[in-house]
Amino acid sequence: MSLDYDVIVIGTGAGALVSALRAHDAGARVGLFEKGDQVGGTSAWSGGMVWIPNNPHMAEAGIDDSADEAVTYIMAMSNGLIEEKLARQLVEAGPDMVTWLEQNTPTRFQLIESFPDYHPEETGGKTAGGRSLECPLYPFAELGEWAARVTRGPQLDGSTRMGESPLGNQPVFGIDPAELERRKERDERGSGQGLIGPLLRACLDRGIEPHVGHSAVELITENGAVRGAVFETSEGRKEVRSGAVILATGGFERDERFRQAFLRGPLERYASVPTNTGDGLRMAMRVGAALGNMREAWWVPMIDVDVPGRGTTAWMINPERTWPRTIMVNPQGRRFANEATEYNALGAAFHVMDATGYGYTNLPAWMIFDQEYLERYGIAVHRAGEPTPAWLIEAATISELADKIGVPAHQLAATIDRWNGFCAQGHDDDFNRGDSAHDRYWGDRRIGAGVESTLGPIDTAPYYAVQMRPGALGTKGGPRTDVNGQVEHVDGGPIDGLYATGNVVSSVMGGTYGGAGGTLAPAMVFGWLAGNHAAETALARLALTN
């Protein structure tokens, strides 16, 4: 039977594009397919940071690292969920992928100065950074008509948000307006756009033009081997035959039944593209894929915000939690975690259960802050001086605030008194907020490099509360894959012709998040390995049959 392609890649996030590039350069004819009408997936909405331990730019900057150190670090956070051979493959292949992309495509990486790992005090962790890379600004004019076909996310306003702006690569507290204007005029984009832009350019240069509006619904199999996929398109169903298929269809966070079936606790909001409905998981299950890590997601706290022109929008709350003059409380009006810890780990705090009451101890959770906080930082799209929006609760006193959010007033007052005492003494005795280099980096470093960047009293009326929701960047359970990114069968051994990468797979990182870029890095590294292996095996098979 004649093949349409040697390798097809389903999805157009960063992992997908890297797979396509590598498969092409290994000699394969590559087809690239996307369900949405725009390309880039959540990867294009992201901060575009990539966590590559022992990367070549660290060496250039004289920062020490080694594969062994990085594997030790990852395994220290395993809790029995991480396979060491996959972790080792990630850290050993990562630097080679960076070099390969820089030598063969317009993609360039630079160090994000002093960005610590997310658990930097763990053995093998880096407190002074080096492992997190980002791409410089990319001029979208280079993409021609494709510039308008890269998806842009809801938090991309070019203002003050860490790594979430298409105009990107900005300090957390804003960017010179003249520089912003310059970037806008030239359509120079950073963050996830700065990553997807050059990868897409490299695909187009190789004649790999994404087929948008192609939703993969089924894998084509021959004697148990995967040999293509069926797509739903506006022109009807299309069968595409290929020697191998690489699934890069994102997580299952947008599918209610999968969420209910698999996740370890509530997931109420999603930061990903709406097309990530678990299609890859469904297709892989039908051909007998072994599954892993199904309970996990890349958790992140979110709030609901009314964004002018967009309506209610789920908004990630990351540096905002770490700045002084804010805490989080549970329905009892008590703090329940180090608010400044990394977002993924906070998922665990949201999922704590009360065995007696049989409910979630810390849900609903509330972020509490004062007027001084609002004046310094604002919150999401709201700034001090503007009328308080309906999604934000305001009260003249702590007691009134407690009544409005339904927590015991005496307890909320006691919690805030205790917090203010910790701020005065310079140490959070309950949750050690600010002890980690992570917390201090994410805090307001304009105030200082110590705990003052994150500890600050809540003492200036009026007071505010906003409900925090357990959200996710995407889920990270799915088909188990081997060191080549090949999907494993439930009965053991790889499934001939089937590969997967990104949030569709059982994550190499288990439940943890190594550092900024911890999701895109495995997607890209295993995409790079899968592209190569899929191409080589498909071409070798073809040579045998010809």
Ligand X SMILES: Cc1cc2nc3c(=O)[nH]c(=O)nc-3n(C[C@H](O)[C@H](O)[C@H](O)COP(=O)(O)OP(=O)(O)OC[C@H]3O[C@@H](n4cnc5c(N)ncnc54)[C@H](O)[C@@H]3O)c2cc1C
Pairwise CA distance, residues 372 & 379, whole Å = 12
- 3 state SS for 344-399: HHHHHHHCCEECCCCEECCCCEEEEEEHHHHHHHCECCECCCCCCCCCCEEECCHH
469: phi then psi, degrees, rounded to nearest 5: -115, 140
The answer to whether residue 434 forms part of the interface with ligand X (CB under 6 A) is: no
Pairwise CA distance, residues 203 & 191, whole Å = 19
Minimum CB distance to ligand X, residue 38 (Å): 8
The answer to whether residue 481 forms part of the interface with ligand X (CB under 6 A) is: no
Nearer to ligand X, 45 or 138 (CB): 45
Nearer to ligand X, 33 or 373 (CB): 33
Minimum CB distance to ligand X, residue 162 (Å): 9
Minimum CB distance to ligand X, residue 125 (Å): 17
Nearer to ligand X, 156 or 538 (CB): 156
What are the beta bridge partners of residue 479?
291
- Peptide bond preceding 56: is omega within 30 degrees of 0, i.e. cis? no
From the list 35-43, 142-150, 392-400, 425-433, the region that binds ligand X by CB under 6 A is: 35-43
Minimum CB distance to ligand X, residue 371 (Å): 28
* DSSP H or E run through 422: helix 409-425
Q: How many CA atoms lie within 13 A of 423 on its CB side?
A: 19
Pairwise CA distance, residues 473 & 299, whole Å = 6
Among 267, 412, 520, 525, binds ligand X (CB under 6 A): 520
The answer to whether residue 34 forms part of the interface with ligand X (CB under 6 A) is: yes
Q: 306 in the Ramachandran plot: left (φ > 0), alpha (ψ -120 to 50) or beta?
A: beta
Pairwise CA distance, residues 154 & 405, whole Å = 27
The answer to whether residue 515 forms part of the interface with ligand X (CB under 6 A) is: no
Ranges within 286-305 binding ligand X (CB under 6 A): 298
Do the Cβ atoms of 391 and 478 come closer than 8 Å?
no
Minimum CB distance to ligand X, residue 534 (Å): 16
Query: Would you call 439 helix, strand, or coil by DSSP?
Result: helix
The answer to whether residue 197 forms part of the interface with ligand X (CB under 6 A) is: no
The answer to whether residue 487 forms part of the interface with ligand X (CB under 6 A) is: no
Instruction: Spell out, one character per residue from 207 to 236, where the chain touches ligand X: x when CB under 6 A holds, - when not.
Output: -------xxx--------------------
Q: How many helices (H) and strands (E) does the chain have?
A: 16, 23
Do the Cβ atoms of 283 and 247 come closer than 8 Å?
yes
Nearer to ligand X, 226 or 516 (CB): 516
The answer to whether residue 245 forms part of the interface with ligand X (CB under 6 A) is: no
Do the Cβ atoms of 498 and 289 come closer than 8 Å?
yes
Ranges within 246-275 binding ligand X (CB under 6 A): 248-250, 271-273, 275
The answer to whether residue 242 forms part of the interface with ligand X (CB under 6 A) is: no
Minimum CB distance to ligand X, residue 248 (Å): 5
The answer to whether residue 10 forms part of the interface with ligand X (CB under 6 A) is: yes
With contacts defined by CB under 6 A, how many residues of the chain interact with ligand X?
Answer: 47
Nearer to ligand X, 273 or 539 (CB): 273
Ranges within 163-182 binding ligand X (CB under 6 A): 163-164
Residues contributing to the site for ligand X (CB under 6 A):
10-13, 15-16, 33-36, 41-43, 45-49, 153, 155, 163-164, 214-216, 248-250, 271-273, 275-276, 279, 298, 316, 473-474, 502-504, 516-520, 523
